[in-house]
Amino acid sequence: MDYRRFRMPAFNAVPRRDYLMALLSGILLALSFPSPGFSALAWIAFVPLLLACGRKDPRKAFRLGLVTGLSAYAGILYWINIVVTTYGKLPWSVSICLFSLLVAYLALYPAIVTLLVRRGEERGISLLISFPVLWVGLEYVRAFILTGFPWASLGYSQYKILPLIQVADVTGVYGLSFLIAFANAVFYRLIRGFVGKERAPYPLKSVALLFGLMAATVGYGFNRLHLPETGTPFTVALIQGNIDQNIKWDPAFQEATVSIYERLSRKACATGPVDLVVWPESAAPFYFQDEERYAARIKTLAKELSSCAVVGSPAYVKDGGEVKYLNSAFLLSPWGEVVGRSDKIHLVPFGEYVPMAKLLPFVNKLVAGIGDFSPGARIASLKTGKGEIGILVCFEGIFPELSRAYVRAGSRLLVNITNDAWFGRSSAPYQHLSMTVFRAVENRVPLVRAANTGITSIIDGKGHVRGMTPLFTEAVLNGEVRLGGEESVYTRYGDIFAWGCLVAGAVLMVLSFRRKKA
């Protein structure tokens, strides 16, 4: 019997050179995000992949796209192993398995894009149209499916290029993703005009269109950057306590924790009261709403400083016979009274609750010290007396729709409180920061973030990072922002651009199947 006929062709059907080119695309893509954050690489990152796909069968293009996705997301999200092993207390073998599952899931998106692009090309649909449209459409889907994980969307790689990112107040981050994907497609077609057995015609119209889009985007950006900020001045003091995650929830360290925040808050307000003092997520590691000793001290501190204060703390509500735990932030008035509370709405899977807990009894929640959290019931814009604020807890800052909802509810300042201690000294805190820059630009409101171990920062409504602290140090950051006033196109209409790409991508695929049938 000839057993050779039973061999699976799979990866052997594609030359090794093409896999290396797909791998190169993944590496370039990973390097374009912080850190190191070589943002220019994003504009050419997909060119090797597209060259490797060439005229190949869509199934082979899928495999090449999968290689690119695996290498890219493994490089971007390597820090998840730090989280799982250090704070989840799981062995490396389990961590690698969970990490591999996540990376494989995310790699499906570029793989599906390459498959659909090649299928469309076989039916006469230009890659110059299908690649950017499908990329953005699936990037938008990724932001919602399975609770959503819009980490490292393509546009975030450009967060430091302020003239480029101003267009986010119209298109959201997806407008930048579209422009980068379109540029990659044009550069690919240009290179094909010089190399290969079948030289493609030079895409002169596409080059002209890319040039026009870039000129319009940058021109719009410079115009926005030169417009003066007219909002009411608002002073903030952000407190970075640098509390070790391993002792954060230990009752024996509550006194030391509160003392650190008291000392740093007094230091921040030494020259006079500020409009708002901000402590990080869970800075008060106890139930602030009914803890007598330490909660009373914090209220007295707010009165002493004559400043409003945001204090991160767990909370609970009783719903019949059930107690629901919340990851919350309390707003204190300059008179030491609790005048509002904002509850985290979008929880971290496996961080704050365990999905399908009955099926995964061996998986522990990463956040110690409290039971599973429940999501908050509503968007709550809190009134400081000088302006309303919206509080984004932890990774809520990576979800554009949440920031938009707070601004539409009346917030003129976004406050992101977070605890990035479990990321260690990795790229994750920098990646986290890069995404919050877009939340400010999209809605034309300033955003301030207080992080337990850093990065604490002040971001104005144009995306300037006006100040930032180093990682793993005690620090205070004082500054002044201008409260947002105007309503941006994005705030009013949301992700209509991404929706348009999603619908257009679906139409392209329907057309490709109809053409095949004909």
CA gap 453, 465 in Å, rounded: 18
CA gap 242, 261 in Å, rounded: 10
| For residue 36, cis peptide bond before it (omega within 30 degrees of 0) | yes
Q: Could you tell me how many residues make up the chain?
A: 518
pLDDT tens for the chain, 518 residues: list them.
444 443 444 555 668 999 999 999 999 999 999 989 999 999 999 999 999 998 889 999 999 999 999 999 999 999 999 988 887 778 898 889 989 999 999 999 999 999 999 999 988 899 999 999 999 999 999 999 988 999 999 999 999 999 999 999 999 999 999 999 999 999 999 998 776 555 566 778 999 999 999 999 999 999 999 999 889 999 999 999 999 988 888 889 999 999 999 999 999 999 999 999 999 999 999 999 988 899 999 999 999 999 999 999 999 998 877 889 999 999 999 999 999 999 999 988 877 766 655 555 555 555 555 568 889 989 989 999 999 999 999 999 999 999 999 999 999 999 999 999 989 999 999 999 999 999 999 999 999 999 999 999 999 999 999 999 999 999 999 999 999 988 999 999 999 999 999 999 999 888 877 755 44
Tell me the C-alpha to C-alpha distance, in Å, between residue 492 and each of 405, 408, 433, 435: 10, 8, 24, 20
Structure tokens at 131: 């690649």
Give residue limits of the domains in the chain.
9-227+496-517, 233-484
Whole-number pLDDT of residue 435? 98
SS3 content of the chain, % helix, strand, coil (to 5): 50, 15, 35
Whole-number pLDDT of residue 292? 84
Whole-number pLDDT of residue 414? 98
Q: What is the CATH number of domain 233-484?
A: 3.60.110.10
Rounded to the nearest 5°, which phi and psi values hold at 351? Answer: -95, -45
CA gap 181, 294 in Å, rounded: 52
Whole-number pLDDT of residue 39? 97
What is the DSSP track for 394-462? GGGGG-HHHHHHHHHTT-SEEEEEE--GGG-SSSHHHHHHHHHHHHHHHHT--EEEEESSS--EEE-TT
What is the DSSP track for 65-117? HHHHHHHHHHHHSTTHHHIIIIIS---HHHHHHHHHHHHHHHHHHHHHHHHHH
Active site residues: 281, 344, 394
Whole-number pLDDT of residue 357? 53
Rounded to the nearest 5°, which phi and psi values hold at 211? Answer: -60, -45
CA gap 326, 375 in Å, rounded: 7
Whole-number pLDDT of residue 356? 54
CB of 185 within 8 A of CB of 127?
Answer: yes
Whole-number pLDDT of residue 88? 74
